[in-house]
Amino acid sequence: MNLRYASSLLCAAGLAGAAQAAPAPAQVSAADAAAFSSCLSQLRGQALQQGVAAGTFDAHTRGLTPDMSVIASLDAQPEFKTPIWDYLAALVDDERVADGQQALRQWHAELARAQAQFGVDPATVVAVWGVESNFGKKLGGRPLLTSLSTLSCFGRRQAYFRGEFFATLKIIQQEHVRPERLNGSWAGAFGQTQFMPSTYLRLAVDFDGDGRRDLVDSVPDALASTANFLQRAGWKAGMPWGFEVTLPAGLDTSAAGRRNKRPMSAWAAQGLKRADGGALPAGDLQAGLLLPAGPTGPAFLVTRNFDAVYSYNAAESYALAIAHLSDRLRGAGPFVRAWPTDDPGLSRAERRELQSLLIARGFDIGEPDGLIGARTREALQTMQRQAGLPADGRAGLKSLQWLRDNAGQPPAALNAPPAD
């Protein structure tokens, strides 16, 4: 089972590190309230068997009411598929690179100490921090006890979420963390680098020496805990995660895949070369060929260290974002080969610009925050129909350029129905 199930669900729905404020609580029906109360009574015995004290359970479940909106999130099937070039454009942009390099400087001593203890380089740890919470700016606003108790009693995967609910109660009990400090995603991930509660209990470390493992308010604890996670997942010091490569013409890519690893020497014999012009490493270092957009897009040879990052959130696009951001933090540039699209994705700054232009046209989409939600997509679809673009609600460069070129057009002209 994915150790970070919650984060993989978040990535499926949009972009990692884009936690949003919790919506206003919806009114709970009498039937749901009764079912929730009955469920909590049944969970009490299980919690005690798992090491939660009766006093802890009673004190922190008294007065709990379910938040049924998390069930909607659990069951959501996102209708908007994010192309990998959109996903990476927002997660690995110049803004995040600059913020990450500042974080490397600010936390240099702690990161060096974590590297000495766990063997994970600072850039990789900071890349996880940047993608997961935008360096602590987006921690999520949902109370874990409310979300996880609801998910323990309604919807799918109740057994999994019950384990996380009990783990949250243990954190309160063992670590003396105030419940109001335990806020996160709708599925229970929390802290600077978004650990699930059970992962916290196993892998969080006290790195600032205050006697507490605090992933919310202690950056040193969060960074070191992330390094510990990656080391336990198989990270090997000194091994690259991989690198972009160029493929020879006519290469049979039917055996491509992260799991189908071969020695570097075998890949070199087939004519693969590093995209930056360097030679492939000599020897038997095992690597798999990753083609996230098929053979016409950027290609990568990835090692076991890529797999370690993948275990943090079971999505290859996520692992590639972490890997690429870590390279950018070390001074590397963008990928050499372009993505196979004539409509590239937008950085967060460009997304905010696009939203500002839509707002200037009279669209009610809220504040320009760079997150492409339902209201922004609906506004884009209206605009795209006017522009003669595919009305898919996607925030691409063509839509942004059209808005720039037509910035002086009156809002009414844009919002009017198309002529017959």
Q: What percent of the chain has pLDDT over 70?
A: 90
Q: Taking 60 as the threshold, does the pLDDT of residue 8 lie above it?
A: no
* Domain that residue 104 falls in: 5-232
The whole-angstrom distance between residue 344's C-alpha and the CA centroid of its chain comes to 21
80 pLDDT band, cuts 50/70/90, is low
Gap between the Cα atoms of 182 and 164, Å rounded: 13
Interval 265-270 mean pLDDT: 94
In a domain? residue 200? yes
Give the β-pairing of 242-246 and 273-274: antiparallel
Q: Is residue 102 part of a domain?
A: yes
The residues that are catalytic are: 132
Q: Name which residue leads in pLDDT, 11 or 177.
A: 177
Residue 225 CB neighbour total at 10 angstroms: 28
Q: Is residue 161 part of a domain?
A: yes
Q: Are residues 210 and 357 in the same domain?
A: no
- Between CA 126 and CA 137 the distance in angstroms is 14
pLDDT digits (tens, 9 = 90+) for 332-347: 999 999 999 999 999 9
In a domain? residue 109: yes
Number of domains in the chain: 2
Span 289-300, pLDDT tens digits: 999 999 999 999
Amino acid identity, residue 57? F
User: Which residue, 215, 232, 249, sits at the end of a domain?
Assistant: 232
Q: Is the pLDDT of residue 16 over 90?
A: no
Q: What is the pLDDT of residues 102-131, one digit of tens each?
A: 999 999 999 999 999 999 999 999 999 999
Report the alpha-carbon distance of residue 134 to residue 188 in Å, rounded. Answer: 18
Query: How confident is the model over 91-101, as a mean pLDDT?
Result: 98
**In a domain? residue 226:** yes
Calculate the CA 212 to chain-centre distance. 26
15: which 2 tokens? 């972009």
Give the tokens for residue 145: 């006890």
413 pLDDT higher than 80? no
Residue 6: per-residue pLDDT: 45
Are 228 and 353 in a shared domain?
Answer: no
Query: pLDDT at residue 26 above 80?
Result: no
* pLDDT value for 4: 45
Report the pLDDT value the prediction gives residue 78, as an integer from 0 to 100: 54
Tell me 233's DSSP state: T
Determine the 3-state secondary structure of 175 from DSSP: helix
Domain boundary among 173, 203, 232: 232
Residue 267: count of CB within 10 angstroms of its CB: 22
118 falls within a domain: yes
Task: Choose the final residue of a domain: 182, 207, 232.
Answer: 232
Residue 75: band (very low, low, confident or very high) from pLDDT cuts 50, 70, 90: confident
- In this predicted structure, the answer to whether residue 14 has a pLDDT above a threshold of 50 is no
In a domain, 152, yes or no: yes
**Confidence (pTM):** 0.91
What pLDDT score does 81 carry? 75
Specify the pLDDT at position 28.
86
